[in-house]
Amino acid sequence: MATKLIYFFGNGSAEGKSAMKDLLGGKGANLAEMTNLGVPVPPGFTISTEVCKSFYENNRNYPEELEGQIKTNLKKLEQIMGKKLGDAKDPLLVSVRSGAAVSMPGMMDTILNLGMNDKAVIGLAEVTQNERFAWDAYRRFIQMFGNVAMGLDINVFENILADMKKSKKVELDTDLDAGDLQQLVDKYKKAYKAKLKKAFPQDPIEQLHAAIDAVFGSWNNEKAIKYRKLNNITGLLGTAVNVQSMVFGNFGDDSGTGVCFSRDPSTGKKVFYGEFLMNAQGEDVVAGIRTPETITSLKKKNAKAYKQLVEIKDKLENHYHDMQDMEFTIQQGELFILQTRNGKRTGPAALKCAVDMVKEKLITKEEAIFRVTPGQLDQLFHPMINPKTKSSLNVIAKGLNASPGAAAGQIVFTAEDAEDWAKDGKKVLLVRQETSPEDIGGMDAAQGILTSTGGMTSHAAVVARGMGTPCVAGCKEVVVSGKSMKVGAKKYKEGDLITIDGTTGEVFEGEVELINPVVTRDLATFLGWADEIRHKAVRDGIKGKGFFVRTNADQPADAKVARNFGAEGIGLCRTEHMFFDAGKLEIFQEMIVANDLDARKKALKKLLPLQKKDFKGIFKAMNGLPVTVRLLDPPLHEFIPKTNAEIKELAGKLGIKPADLKKKAESLHELNPMLGHRGCRLGITYPEIYDMQVEAIMTAACEIAKAKGKVEPEIMIPLVGTKKELELLRKNAEGVIKQVFKKKGMKVKYKIGTMIEIPRAALTAETIAEEADFFSFGTNDLTQMTFGYSRDDIGSFIGDYLDQNVLERDPFQTLDTVGVGSLVDMAVKKGRSVKENMKMGICGEHGGDPDSIKFCYKTGLNYVSCSPYRVPIARLAAAQSVLEDSGK
Amino acid sequence: MATKLIYFFGNGSAEGKSAMKDLLGGKGANLAEMTNLGVPVPPGFTISTEVCKSFYENNRNYPEELEGQIKTNLKKLEQIMGKKLGDAKDPLLVSVRSGAAVSMPGMMDTILNLGMNDKAVIGLAEVTQNERFAWDAYRRFIQMFGNVAMGLDINVFENILADMKKSKKVELDTDLDAGDLQQLVDKYKKAYKAKLKKAFPQDPIEQLHAAIDAVFGSWNNEKAIKYRKLNNITGLLGTAVNVQSMVFGNFGDDSGTGVCFSRDPSTGKKVFYGEFLMNAQGEDVVAGIRTPETITSLKKKNAKAYKQLVEIKDKLENHYHDMQDMEFTIQQGELFILQTRNGKRTGPAALKCAVDMVKEKLITKEEAIFRVTPGQLDQLFHPMINPKTKSSLNVIAKGLNASPGAAAGQIVFTAEDAEDWAKDGKKVLLVRQETSPEDIGGMDAAQGILTSTGGMTSHAAVVARGMGTPCVAGCKEVVVSGKSMKVGAKKYKEGDLITIDGTTGEVFEGEVELINPVVTRDLATFLGWADEIRHKAVRDGIKGKGFFVRTNADQPADAKVARNFGAEGIGLCRTEHMFFDAGKLEIFQEMIVANDLDARKKALKKLLPLQKKDFKGIFKAMNGLPVTVRLLDPPLHEFIPKTNAEIKELAGKLGIKPADLKKKAESLHELNPMLGHRGCRLGITYPEIYDMQVEAIMTAACEIAKAKGKVEPEIMIPLVGTKKELELLRKNAEGVIKQVFKKKGMKVKYKIGTMIEIPRAALTAETIAEEADFFSFGTNDLTQMTFGYSRDDIGSFIGDYLDQNVLERDPFQTLDTVGVGSLVDMAVKKGRSVKENMKMGICGEHGGDPDSIKFCYKTGLNYVSCSPYRVPIARLAAAQSVLEDSGK
């Protein structure tokens, strides 16, 4: 039996179903599912993604059986429709659309009205009794086919159309009559032949094959590849091709087309939400050229269709257990559903949908956990404009609130500029009349996006929401021309500062103060479920040693914020950050420039009470949760100024000669400070510094405990590469602690552990473990040394590396599980071979990255630690990790 | 049965033997062996090293049995000698000396004349009929006992002695008579009591126990620990203690003492060599206070003793199959041998002895291979003064040629200064009246050593030879005072430049031109044996894939030198070193500052023929041996000047604005260049650079092959961390090579491989191996990244790390087998799991380090590559590796 390459749907039954997304793509699988559900879907068939895979694997050749199967399915379609492709009397027209297993909106090709030719146009005009419609469909097809399938510049046709309108002195396409359009078809065909050196094909089968070629070919076009990369879409076979009988929303005023959602994709509220345009084809809505009407106004125009649509959206949401994004067309009053899929949504909407649907018993809590991506949750923490200052701000324009969050930046007018400026470290806002898929890179680089045309489902709006980038769309007051824009009489040029609020659609002049949003009750509910799942798994012994979310915090205030976000401890308190406060920095500098041990000790003695106070504040804020304090890590020269003026100033303060200070600074200079005299190396060469820090930590802990407070200090020694380092420094610390306990007449439980951040530490972890009560993986440094990449200098080549797929992800954002991860895994195993229950965690920035968190859980770490604002994201990712790992 | 802790020797037989060095120490084992051989050795007993071990393991307590066993052995000794310790009539006197399994000259304690007290001195005077001798022996003992066993400052006694000589108006100790010495004893005892608050002990058993304590205690004194560390002496149990009946070289003019060697330890010539002093104790020779006579002049003074000594040295050399270093004493005409051991020797002497002894059939070739350490071989390549310029040089002084090789540097006058100045990167010569064991650190830090007193066996001379440091000793013209020295009327102060020639004993003013020595025929013979052993092992299949010595060479001239030294290929040709030639550098700079691809290509085109020429030269020099060429590695900013003046100059040459060049330089600046945009990262971002280099290499190879030359090019891509990098760059290179072959109408065999120098590369070597024909371990970078140490910045803490034993060795000198080595091992196994016979080598500087070479052989590498002058050392170390690994 020949391999089945094509799946038919129509007449109330389909060969495919929703579960076959990998094979039929999302669109094809859902068309089949809807057909089986009795939803009115125009019949058609889906060519599977395996054909696409085979196409690329076989040097762009199709499987032998394909042509025959197309023939068979087309015949079936013609039978059901009672029409024939290219028929001179009642022609069948079809659309040819892409559709991969993961939605890639606008990235791949679509061809509509296929089957039109010189004969069919006559037949269509007759059977529809609408000559204008027939000629318009023909001219649209030639344009689309020429552009999409044959690669002609769209302006070849647009210019002819513009000339025609000019000569007819009309403004809109709809003002052209049938005769005009017939002339246009003639001109289009001539232009087609002139450019391509062959006539526009009259054979519909030839048209169909060319269209299928174009769709499969578009799988690997530049923008599709870039989109998959930006969205980390991997592992797909390719796109499917859907050949479906056409229905027309541009049949006249009783026809129309639209997009609707079963809930509001922006807020998640359970309201029917959508837009439509009467007398238009689907592309008109998506392209954002005309501004559409809201879905509720359809009720007035066609009550029956509206009622049917409401029933269908309820049916589909109940069936799919998720919010649906549907495309529909009304042809001469009759409703057709062209597509349904789980709707893309903003972070707040995802959260609200998930929480509401659990309450509605539509989904379980476990399912809800996967309904919000960590990225979407992150959107909840995007900056917003300070409400207090907002009333006094000058709103210069208002558009659609297309993607929530506020953003401020310098305006640029091309995607290229956005990328270039962002590379230079500038914050930019991308301003466009409308965006197109080619702009993806620039949209990603921008803080926010502002467009002057297009609706809530326009390209800019959809993509921005997906990216979590604030966007104001369809802001008509903004008139873009070249590299400047006018709002009213005022002109803004490239580089001027603008702020947008994607939650309200407002546009402000200048850079406005932004603040972070407050946490809603839904968030607490949702994260409560996440924690419940995470801790229950641990209680049930799925992983024996717990999986906690801690935070990186260096100040009592940060610690408080993090606890409010649900942090279950501090995984990294960087003591040196405490030195940067005015007052402390100077004393620390005095210590650095000291010429002998006595002078150093004198300065450290001054620092001691100040550090102790900080530690007490942090311990209090954490109220008995574990607090890992890292002893001094950066090289000393980081604390000494570089410029002559600064040196002079500091020398004055310290009462030494500027020349001497300069000499000291020079003596501290390092060629590769990342690999220099830092971390525990300072502890070995200047034991008095660590002694002071340990004394401050433990004195603070004793004083808290004495006042009946709870405290769980963990002293962490950084940058250990040999067992001996930890052995020496542990011995020193224990000596100091003994003295503190004696002085305070009491004891407090504590741990002394180390960071595993040097490859050698991971490689020899079984020896280091002998001296350590815990391991904390410092994956920032570990990534730097394992790859040999300086994070500060990677900018000059990381772009090329990502573009050329040398790296799939930036290893500083997402942990490289293959290389760096193998060291982590090795260290966990080696460490636990010595101390079976050793507590291990991660305190690199990967601790807030969802994919890295999953790795950490799998590898058996006991906690992740991340910045306060990432704590909720980590709680969600951790719950997802637990569920995924348990196979749920 | 009680554990045997003590081994007796005397009366022609001994309980120990030479093979028991670990237990009895070198000295004790050899005293036993000599006794059994019938050599006249004063009887005595050896307390084993296990007692020392037990002493330190049990909180400085001795095994219970020890006291009893000392008693028994002492009784036996008294019986044989017919004298009793502390006897008022004919007292036995003994020496108490240290002696570990490995010689540590002068590092541990010795006490002579033990047994003297107020009664014994009378008895000794009577029985020897020499009152002066008896009182001298007593006062020497009090001084030594007080200083060594009781820790009194030596000056306590020296000052009393000096006062006495002053009051008696005499210059030499020997000018003091018996009465003076008796007074001195009285004063010494009073001083002893005043300082120690207890009387000098009269009980000889108490004296003996205190002396044994002192010797065991000295095992862990600071200088002994430092010596062991400097000489990498590990794994010993401790020291033994030798209690031996005294013989006296200071009995009068028919007595004497000396040190002699069975061959010349400086040249290795088979001549009887040594020195002696009449009427002196051994310490007088070693301390270098009086300048001794040569051994041959003993013939005139005591022909019988001389003849007997010659017979003994022949007997011992034949017995031990090695050159012997002996201590002897003549007491009233009778010869005693106090010690024999394998003699320390200079590199040239080691080589000559090894080669001669094989010829004399005293040892086998395999034994000979271990008779020269790689360090000694290295001495053969020490700089010497250019003979051509030598005649015109001003010799300001001449001393003893104590340790060969020439050295130039700034003079310093304390060991501490030598260490400090050397840490600052200065080359220093250490000038001392005489050195002492406390000076070890400074001697090691100095380029050379110059002393004004002391002979060929003085401390300075012995230690310098061991270190391979040039030394001129006993240079009387040099008068040291404080931090300056006078030579004749001329004063030289700290920091002045001086050159010494340790091979001739000459001292020169200023910094004299030094050159490297020529290779002697012995060296070729010896290394021939080494190569024979190495290659035979491979032929015999002991390790299947060969073990070769290659060189790191970047220029045809270097390649030629290395081939002369026996290099079997080039393991690392750094292409960027070629750019540093004038002419080429400018073109390369032009390439760097180019603003676009075309301009870069234009500059590279100019560079192409120049690089091709270099490659042809290298290929010719290597005549078909494999040549590994590494493509560009350092970051581009290394080629751009830093100062404003240089920038201005270069900008002028390149015809661009200085401001633009400065901007370019700033844009290239990196915070951590070691982890920056270098190596294959440049190849990915600027493929045109590698393309040019590959074209130059392969065009050169084709042209050589076309001219009937032999050529084996290996293209090496540096700094690979991911398989994808190598995959891309290999594909590029193969494209270029295809074009070269097409252009030249021929093909040449080649390999494309990579350096494993990034931890991630080792961790993922099984994937990288798929794209690599060979691996070359770049252990310099691998060490930097595995430890997180910047080699450029390590200076600020490596000293502390070595002092505190955090590191046992500098990991940049000797490969860290535990950490870095585990990555190498991992990569070898992973690589060969994919390609079973993949060629692997090392091209880091460890390739010239003997211990690291041993690791490389064990791990299964196929070659090591080192600098040309290290090639002979590597050949030796490789042969030793092969023999050790095969258990020989």
pLDDT in tens, A22-76: 999 999 999 999 999 999 999 999 999 999 999 999 999 999 999 999 999 999 9
> Is there a contact between A792 and B684 if contact means CB atoms under 8 Å apart?
no
Is there a catalytic annotation at residue B459?
Answer: yes
Chain mean pLDDT for chain A:
91
Contact map slice: A 129-168 vs B, CB within 8 A: none
Q: How far is CA A516 from CA A380, A394, A553, A869, in A?
A: 9, 21, 18, 10
Examine the pLDDT at A857 and tell me if it is beyond 90. Answer: yes
Half-sphere exposure of B251 (CA within 13 A, CB side): 20
pLDDT of residue B194: 95
Residues B391 and A434: their CA atoms lie apart, in Å, by 88
**φ, ψ of residue A178 in degrees (nearest 5):** -55, -40
> Is there a contact between A786 and B781 if contact means CB atoms under 8 Å apart?
no
Q: Which residues of B264-288 are buried (b: 16+ CB within 10 A; e: fewer)?
A: bbbbbebebbbbbbbbbbbebbbbb
**Mean pLDDT on B445-454:** 90
> Is there a contact between B758 and A787 if contact means CB atoms under 8 Å apart?
yes
In the numeric block, the tokens 């002109």 are attached to A491
Ramachandran class of A610: left when φ > 0, alpha when ψ lies in -120 to 50, beta otherwise = alpha
pLDDT of residue A2: 67
Chain mean pLDDT for chain B:
91
Q: How many helices (H) and strands (E) does chain A have?
A: 36, 34
Range with the largest mean pLDDT of B433-437, B454-458, B463-467, B676-680: B676-680
pLDDT of residue B589: 92
> Is there a contact between B673 and A671 if contact means CB atoms under 8 Å apart?
yes
| CB nearest to A797's CB, from B681, B763, B781 | B681
> Is there a contact between B823 and A763 if contact means CB atoms under 8 Å apart?
yes
Residues B764 and A807: their CA atoms lie apart, in Å, by 14
B contacts of A785 (beta carbons < 8 Å): 675, 759, 785-786, 788
Helix (H, G, I), strand (E, B) or coil at B808: coil
pLDDT of residue A519: 65
Measure B782 CA to nearest chain A CA, in Å: 9
Inform me whether the C-beta atom of residue B596 falls under 8 Å from chain A C-beta atoms.
Answer: no
**φ, ψ of residue B412 in degrees (nearest 5):** -130, 160
Size of interface A-B (CB pairs under 8 A): 168
Query: Which of B629, B630, B582, B590 has its CA nearest to residue B606?
Result: B590
pLDDT of residue A779: 96
Q: Tell me: the pLDDT tens digits for A314-340?
A: 999 999 999 999 999 999 999 999 999
Q: Tell me: the pLDDT tens digits for A62-113?
A: 999 999 999 999 999 999 999 999 999 999 999 999 999 988 877 888 899 9
Measure B780 CA to nearest chain A CA, in Å: 13
At residue B554 the predicted structure's pLDDT band, cuts being 50, 70 and 90, is confident
**Mean pLDDT on A222-249:** 88
Inform me whether the C-beta atom of residue A823 falls under 8 Å from chain B C-beta atoms.
Answer: yes
> Is there a contact between B671 and A722 if contact means CB atoms under 8 Å apart?
no
Q: Tell me: the pLDDT tens digits for A564-576?
A: 989 999 999 999 8
Q: Tell me: the pLDDT tens digits for A169-191?
A: 988 777 889 999 999 999 999 99
Handedness of CA A404, A408, A412, A416 (dihedral sign): negative
Residue length of chain B:
888
**Mean pLDDT on A577-585:** 78
Measure B409 CA to nearest chain A CA, in Å: 24
pLDDT of residue B20: 95
A contacts of B785 (beta carbons < 8 Å): 675, 759, 785-786, 788
Residue A304 tokens, joined: 């029956």
Residues B3 and B192: their CA atoms lie apart, in Å, by 37
Q: Tell me: the pLDDT tens digits for A476-514?
A: 889 888 899 999 889 999 999 999 998 788 999 988 888
Q: What amino acid is encoded at A874 in this protein?
A: A
Query: Which of B660, B666, B598, B600 has its CA nearest to residue B637?
Result: B666
Examine the pLDDT at B128 and tell me if it is beyond 90. Answer: no
DSSP string for A844-864? SGGGG-HHHHHHHHHHT-SEE
Chain A residue with CA closest to B757: the answer is A788
Instruction: Point out the catalytic residue in the list B52, B353, B382, B459.
Output: B459
> Is there a contact between A793 and B677 if contact means CB atoms under 8 Å apart?
yes
Inform me whether the C-beta atom of residue A675 falls under 8 Å from chain B C-beta atoms.
Answer: yes
CB atoms within 10 A of CB B293: 18
**Mean pLDDT on B692-717:** 97
| CB nearest to B724's CB, from A722, A757, A806 | A806
> Is there a contact between B788 and A721 if contact means CB atoms under 8 Å apart?
yes
Q: Tell me: the pLDDT tens digits for B746-777?
A: 999 999 999 999 999 999 999 999 999 999 99
Mutation site for B-interface testing, chosen from A632, A730, A793 by largest number of B Cβ within 10 Å: A793
Mutation site for A-interface testing, chosen from B685, B724, B784, B785 by largest number of A Cβ within 10 Å: B785
Residues B676 and B681: their CA atoms lie apart, in Å, by 9
Q: Tell me: the pLDDT tens digits for B132-150?
A: 989 999 999 999 999 999 9
Inform me whether the C-beta atom of residue B789 falls under 8 Å from chain A C-beta atoms.
Answer: yes
Q: How far is CA B3 from CA A23, B22, B25, B75, B402, in A?
A: 83, 16, 18, 19, 45
Examine the pLDDT at B350 and tell me if it is beyond 80. Answer: yes
User: Is B408 within 8 Å of B497 (Cβ atoms)?
Assistant: yes
> Is there a contact between B786 and A759 if contact means CB atoms under 8 Å apart?
yes
User: Is B498 within 8 Å of B508 (Cβ atoms)?
Assistant: yes
pLDDT of residue B519: 65
**Mean pLDDT on B384-406:** 76
Examine the pLDDT at B316 and tell me if it is beyond 60. Answer: yes
A contacts of B789 (beta carbons < 8 Å): 675
Show the CA angle centred on residue B731, arms to residues B728 and B732, nearest 5°.
Answer: 85
At residue A471 the predicted structure's pLDDT band, cuts being 50, 70 and 90, is very high
At residue A388 the predicted structure's pLDDT band, cuts being 50, 70 and 90, is low
Inform me whether the C-beta atom of residue B809 falls under 8 Å from chain A C-beta atoms.
Answer: no
Ramachandran class of B826: left when φ > 0, alpha when ψ lies in -120 to 50, beta otherwise = alpha
Query: Which of A459, A448, A463, A439 has its CA nearest to residue A504?
Result: A448
Examine the pLDDT at B160 and tell me if it is beyond 60. Answer: yes
The sheet with strand B490-493 has its strands ordered as B478-481, B484-487, B490-493
| CB nearest to A792's CB, from B671, B721, B759 | B671
pLDDT of residue B869: 75
DSSP string for A208-275? HHHHHHHHHHHTTSHHHHHHHHHTT------EEEEEEE---S-SSTT-EEEEEESS-TTT--SS-EEE
Q: How far is CA A132 from CA A137, A179, A250, A596, B189, in A?
A: 9, 8, 11, 95, 133
Residues β-bridged to residue A10: A13
> Is there a contact between B804 and A684 if contact means CB atoms under 8 Å apart?
yes
pLDDT of residue B482: 87
Handedness of CA A819, A824, A827, A833 (dihedral sign): negative
| CB nearest to A728's CB, from B674, B793, B806 | B806
Mutation site for B-interface testing, chosen from A681, A764, A798, A802 by largest number of B Cβ within 10 Å: A681
Q: Tell me: the pLDDT tens digits for B66-94?
A: 999 999 999 999 999 999 999 999 999 99
Chain B residue with CA closest to A683: the answer is B797
Residues B424 and B367: their CA atoms lie apart, in Å, by 42
Inform me whether the C-beta atom of residue B597 falls under 8 Å from chain A C-beta atoms.
Answer: no
Mutation site for B-interface testing, chosen from A760, A791, A830 by largest number of B Cβ within 10 Å: A760
pLDDT of residue B644: 86
B contacts of A816 (beta carbons < 8 Å): 760
Residues B243 and B246: their CA atoms lie apart, in Å, by 9
What is the DSSP-derived secondary structure letter of residue B789?
Answer: -
Examine the pLDDT at B108 and tell me if it is beyond 60. Answer: yes
Min mean pLDDT across A122-136, A414-428, B466-480, B519-533 is at B466-480
> Is there a contact between B673 and A672 if contact means CB atoms under 8 Å apart?
yes
Inform me whether the C-beta atom of residue A758 falls under 8 Å from chain B C-beta atoms.
Answer: yes
CB atoms within 10 A of CB A468: 21
At residue B246 the predicted structure's pLDDT band, cuts being 50, 70 and 90, is very high
Instruction: Point out the catalytic residue in the list A353, A382, A459, A846.
Output: A459
Mutation site for B-interface testing, chosen from A730, A806, A809 by largest number of B Cβ within 10 Å: A806
Q: Could you give the residue ranges of the DSSP H alpha helices within B219-297?
A: 222-230, 282-287
Helix (H, G, I), strand (E, B) or coil at A143: helix
Examine the pLDDT at B435 and tell me if it is beyond 90. Answer: no
Helix (H, G, I), strand (E, B) or coil at B336: strand
| CB nearest to A670's CB, from B758, B788, B793 | B793
**Mean pLDDT on B470-483:** 88
A contacts of B818 (beta carbons < 8 Å): 763-764
The distance in angstroms from the start CA to the end CA of chain B is 37
Chain A residue with CA closest to B765: the answer is A819
| CB nearest to B804's CB, from A728, A788, A823 | A728
Inform me whether the C-beta atom of residue A789 falls under 8 Å from chain B C-beta atoms.
Answer: yes
Is there a catalytic annotation at residue A680?
Answer: no
Q: Which residues contact A336 (CB under 8 A, 6 or more apart)?
A: A40, A41, A42, A247, A328, A329, A330
Q: Tell me: the pLDDT tens digits for B255-278?
A: 999 999 999 987 899 999 999 999
Examine the pLDDT at B388 and tell me if it is beyond 70. Answer: no
Inform me whether the C-beta atom of residue A818 falls under 8 Å from chain B C-beta atoms.
Answer: yes
What is the DSSP-derived secondary structure letter of residue B758?
Answer: S
In chain A, the percentage of residues whose pLDDT exceeds 90 is 68
pLDDT of residue B399: 85
Strands B471-473 and B478-481: unpaired
Residues A794 and A466: their CA atoms lie apart, in Å, by 27
